[in-house]
Amino acid sequence: MAVELDVEVVSPEEVSYSGTAEMVIVRTVESGDIAFQAGHVPFLGVLATWSVDVLRLGDERDSFAVHRGFVEVSHNKVTILSDVSEAASEIDVPRAEQARDRASDALKDDASDAEALAALERADLRLRVAALA
């Protein structure tokens, strides 16, 4: 039997996921995409606004939209700490589409609007992750 990772995806509002996995894939600001399996060396990184994929036994996958935060790996445990983490199945697609449209409109008026750029990035991520559900 393969050794599994203990995984927690946590935000201030809730624990989005708590369970085991064969692999966890995240995107960090400094290292890009990185995958963790049992036995991985200790790691601490800053998460980019991107998805976190938890690959479980039997080719099952849980995906989360994570809006920045941290990943810590130690002793076969992966902890994702984020201000916002949303499971693919819980994303409100019409709301994300509206947010994308508002951000796109704001960027037409001012292409350097940092707030609109960030909102567009979050909306696009939500829509991409929701499509995985």
Check whether residue 21 and residue 84 sit in a common domain: yes
- Residue 99's domain comprises 91-130
Per-residue pLDDT of the chain (133 residues; tens, 9 = 90+): 467 899 999 988 889 899 999 999 999 999 899 999 999 999 999 999 999 999 998 889 999 999 999 999 999 999 999 988 999 999 999 999 999 999 999 999 999 999 999 999 999 999 999 998 7
Domains held by the chain: number: 2
Check whether residue 21 and residue 44 sit in a common domain: yes
> What is the model's pLDDT at position 66?
94
> What is the model's pLDDT at position 2?
65
Check whether residue 10 and residue 68 sit in a common domain: yes
> What is the model's pLDDT at position 42?
96
> What is the model's pLDDT at position 44?
96
Check whether residue 39 and residue 24 sit in a common domain: yes
Check whether residue 71 and residue 54 sit in a common domain: yes
Token pair recorded at residue 114: 């940092």
Check whether residue 74 and residue 114 sit in a common domain: no
Check whether residue 13 and residue 55 sit in a common domain: yes
Check whether residue 79 and residue 96 sit in a common domain: no
Check whether residue 28 and residue 52 sit in a common domain: yes
